Homo-oligomer: A and B are copies of this chain.
Amino acid sequence: MKEFNKHTSRKFNEELESVRNSVLKMGGLVEEMLTQALHGFFQGDSQACTNVIAMDDHVNDLELEIDDECRRILATRAPAAIDLRLIMAIIKTITDIERMGDEAEKIARLSINLLESSEINKADHLEIQAMGELVQTMTKKSLDAFARFDSELALSTFRSDEMVDSQYKTLSRSSITHMMEDPRSITKRLNIMWIARALERIGDHSKNICEYVIYTEKGLDIRHAEDLEG
């Protein structure tokens, strides 16, 4: 929990705690959206996909609420040092979480397209499966790192984005080969590629959240520090 809960004002402690809990709630919702969207894709469950689309409104509402709450804290508490870094990290984190929700919604919509128009087979599933699991883990870990402000977990999670990118590149290349071999599969292949693309972007957003955690905890900005990604 670091030093956030050490204010003489009990009310300020409660406010910080409350806004952090809202971020975790928002993150939990997006995790659930991703799980349901992938379940929808793998199990051909269009109801699960429809649920995901509906959940996105709730995520959007939470973003606006948390944004307001941060503005109120900045205006009334004039936080400094680590508290200020925390609020700035929250303002940025919720933008990323909201966009993760958009990508999960995209996966749900693409899965519905696929269910309506193509036969998805075991081989198609396998392509997405490894990447889906990796991105789910990354999402969970980045939110855990945020919850505990654990910058070591954040750094290791940040680094695993490289693996997601590499899986995405492999999948793109193999999709292109499949499309050339069987042009009738182009529409299906593109939908699968776009699902992979949405997963890759969720990985990017998780990576961003990890950066904010490190920045908050250490006061160290690792954005655009490419050497850390190696």
Contacts and interface: CB of A to CB of B under 8 A. Distances in A.
Contacts of A183: 179-180, 183
A35 interface: no
Interface in A55-89: 57, 60-61, 63-64, 67, 70-71, 74-75, 78, 80-81, 84-85, 88
A152 B176 CA distance: 44
Find the residue from A60, A63, A78 having the highest chain B CB count within 10 A: A78
B71 A88 contact: yes
Interface in A166-185: 176, 179-180, 183-184
A81 B74 CA distance: 10
A223 B99 CA distance: 12
Interface of A: 57, 60-61, 63-64, 67, 70-71, 74-75, 78, 80-81, 84-85, 88, 91-92, 95, 176, 179-180, 183-184, 186-187, 190, 221, 223-224
A64 B88 CA distance: 13
Contacts of A71: 84-85, 88
Q: How many copies does the complex hold?
A: 2
Contacts of A95: 92, 95
- Most chain B CB within a 10 A radius of its CB, from A75, A176, A221: A75
A35 to B, nearest CB: 23
B180 A176 contact: no
Contact of A186 (B60, B63, B85, B180): B180
A223 B186 contact: no
A61 B225 CA distance: 10
